[in-house]
Homo-oligomer: A and B are copies of this chain.
Amino acid sequence: MSGARRLPTGKVPAEVLRRFVFPYCGVPCDRVLQGPGVGEDAAVIEMGDSVLIAKANPITGAEGRIGWLAVHINANDVASCGASPRWFLAIVLLPEGADESLLENIMIDIHDACCEVGASLIGGHTEITPNLDRPIIAGFMMGEVSKEKYVTTGGAKVGDLIILTKYAGIEGTGILATDLAGILKGKVSNAFLKKASEMLRQISVVPEALKAVEEGGVHSLHTPTEGGLLNGVWEMTEAADIGAVIYEEEVPMADETMHVCQALDIDPLKLMGSGALLIVAEQDRTDHLIKALNEIGVKASVIGRTTVKKEGRILVKRDGSKVIIEAVHQDEVYRILDQYC
């Protein structure tokens, strides 16, 4: 074990994936159009004239409606390839002492979310697992789209505009407002706290992802998750091997997120970001795209543009100063929960 480094809590960093995960991929298969890669939301497999999109994501730390979250997190990644989520499998691991009602509530939540995204639950595995202190769900979503229509995170091109739907930090705001409600109570008004705790309801990006692909001109879709918007931008530019400029003042932020982040002294741009979709699109299609998204009730804002790689990945702060956007090794949610729990 000498020389082997301990890993930080949360998603494993990209450089660790590159060294210890991606080299071990079994038998090469030329029907795999997109395999494992930094920032890639899902795998793409050739199936005649269409492609199958497949993604696996767990829910390991959330409280509340974990079955519902497991479906939406996976559906988001499948939709971020331009595909409708269709078929879901769930591995449900329950702690010892769990009863039938816990299982039924999780299954009702899975059912509800599957209905919301248009997917069928087609299989899985349910067990009582020793030495767990809460349920864990491993979700696996498959979707389908014609071969001409799928997009990957790495498809972004130099000179595109970068759009963000809804707000930065939706997921993290919802988690913190729930898990740290006691600490936030004195610092944030009850009304804001309640609204913040309900933000997870906005987590699905399936409608906007499918609408964007339908409208055309989209080169890349990506869901910022752990590490928030900045990590999402880093992953997208890394996957596409390009640079980017993001303007902080253009990044839409919900009032609830600002209040929660000020109260806890955390950076909303590094806060779990599911609920917002990064859309990288041809410059002259952007106005049309934003209008189309608004028409289905989804707010969308241009937050920056892509550049050649040598210009770097830059965040222009509100005061005009520039900072380099790097991989975010620990999401603000983990940092702050470590501090308070």
List residues of A whose CB falls within 8 A of some B CB.
Answer: 1, 4-12, 16-17, 19-21, 23-29, 32, 35-36, 40, 42-43, 45, 47-48, 52, 54-58, 60-61, 86-91, 93-94, 96-104, 107-108, 110-111, 113-115, 118-134, 136, 138, 140, 142
A1-B99, A127-B58 known; A24-B111 Cβ under 8 A: yes
Counting every copy of the chain, the complex holds 2
Inside 8 A of A47's CB, which chain B residues have their CB? 47-48, 52
Q: Are B20 and A122 in contact (CB under 8 A)?
A: no
Contact: B25 with A114, CB < 8 Å? yes
List, sorted by A's number, 9 A–B pairs whose CB atoms are closer than 8 Å: A6-B97, A25-B121, A26-B121, A27-B120, A56-B124, A58-B127, A131-B132, A132-B132, A142-B142
State whether A48 touches B48 (Cβ < 8 A): yes
Q: Name the B residues within 8 Å of A42 (CB-CB).
A: 123
Find out whether the CB atom of A126 lies under 8 angstroms from the CB atom of B11. yes
Chain B neighbourhood of A27, CB < 8 A: 114-115, 118-120
Closest to A124 in B: B56
Chain B residue contacts of A45, Cβ below 8 A: 87, 122, 142
List residues of chain B with CB within 8 A of the CB of A99: 1, 4-7
On whether A29 and B89 interact (CB within 8 A), knowing A8-B128, A20-B103, A136-B136, the answer reads no
A103 CA / B101 CA spacing, docked (Å): 35
Is there contact, CB below 8 Å, between B36 and A124?
Answer: yes
Give the distance in Å from the alpha carbon of A87 to the alpha carbon of B119 in the complex: 21
Contact of B128 with A10 in the complex, beta carbons under 8 Å? yes
Closest Cβ–Cβ distance, residue A223 to chain B (whole Å): 13
- Which residue of the partner chain, among B24, B60, B88, B124, contacts A107 with CB atoms under 8 Å? B24
- Chain B neighbourhood of A126, CB < 8 A: 11-12, 17, 21
Taking a contact as CB atoms under 8 Å apart, the answer to whether B24 and A130 are in contact is: no
